[in-house]
A = this chain, B = another copy of it.
């Protein structure tokens, strides 16, 4: 499809280009724009209908936005930015370098500039930072017919019209009414009589992850945002909530793999930046593993007399690490989706204890048999089997309890994932292993 657009542009087939644009989805047009040369981009972009241009623009990558901005005249830029939904305008400004931001702000209306500056002030990751200020507001005294008149007047520029917000003279949020209710009511009904006053809302400072969870729990398509005095200041729409959920999951994936999280796309992140996000945790974990090496040195005499012990070390370490990260992953994810809470700690402890005895017991028995069969040495089998059993139980206890401990201490539970659990379990498992070996060999 992209080749077609490029061909249409190069062949100056303006009529066909317009037809193509008219039948295309704005998101797909944005995808096409990404693939074009700057010269082709500006031709395609200028062929867009005025209201579509801002919409397409909001779906472009930061690089393409910056490139396109450089090609636009000041009046064109002004139109685009004034037509963007405010949350998209704010995202855009946050992505651009200072000189571009300066030119953009110079070219928007004073009203838009003030609203953008207002939104830029909300903390990253807060409800305020993902809201838009474009919504339909109604008054209690209006009739349904008045409401429809207002929607017709201002609706085109609002991000969603399907939930309308009822405020008093001081802009305090008093109720909500959906277009569904409006459509099913009489034209003469008073908004104050049909609105719902049992309102779900967010406060500007709320964590955006919490807001996304509210969307999910209550199946919302929009949520009003109020300030601390309950004045309505904006709304959040479901598409932004979905994006937050996805970004927060990605963040957890990154943290759980011992990286500083990033929401920058992989392909456009530099090598040094990628390395920087990974080295810190690798270093911390490496230094912790020096300690585990110290345990081996401490028991050097033991495996000097019984070198066959050494060959089971990788299996013990790996199995312990895997068993522990299974538990920690289940608990971290369970807490992230709101299914598990601190108060469930005993139920989790008791469940993991039983699971680990079952799983560890089975793996331990297999190891006794395997080592016995392979080496003809039952003592070695017993040492490895018992140690593995103890390591798996230890691993699952550490793996399940550490994330809960982190939550209790108000750290991110995702930090207590495979890498840290593995390091702790390795050290603990080796100590158990050598102590079991000493005990069995003394028999």
Q: Which residues of A contact B (CB under 8 A)?
A: 23-25, 27, 148, 151-152, 155-156, 161-162, 179-180, 183-184, 197-198, 200, 215-219, 221, 238-239, 241-243, 245-246, 249-250, 252-254, 256-259, 265-267, 271-272, 274-275, 278-279, 281-283, 285-286, 289-290, 292-294, 296-297, 300, 303-304, 307-308, 310-315, 317-319, 321-323, 325-326, 328-334, 337, 339-340, 344, 347-348, 351, 354-355, 358-359, 362-363, 366-367, 370, 418-419, 422-423, 426, 430
Contact = CB atoms under 8 A, between A and B. Distances in A.
Contacts of A348: 266
A315 B334 contact: no
Given A218-B25, A275-B359, A278-B323, A318 B266 contact: no
Contact of A321 (B23, B275, B311, B321): B321
A118 to B, nearest CB: 24
Contact of A318 (B198, B242, B286, B325): B286
A314 to B, nearest CB: 4
B257 A152 contact: no
Copies of this chain, whole number: 2
A344 B249 CA distance: 23
A66 to B, nearest CB: 19
A148 B183 contact: yes
Contacts of A359: 275, 278-279, 282
Contact of A217 (B27, B221, B363): B27
B286 A334 contact: no
Interface majority SS on A: helix, strand, loop or mixed? helix
A124 to B, nearest CB: 20
Contact of A314 (B24, B25, B252, B289): B289
A194 to B, nearest CB: 14
A317 to B, nearest CB: 6
10 contacts: A23-B198, A151-B183, A245-B245, A256-B329, A279-B359, A283-B366, A297-B311, A303-B307, A314-B430, A321-B422
A286 B367 CA distance: 9
B370 A278 contact: no
Given A278-B323, A339-B267, A358-B275, A24 B313 contact: no
A258 B330 CA distance: 11
A155 B184 contact: yes
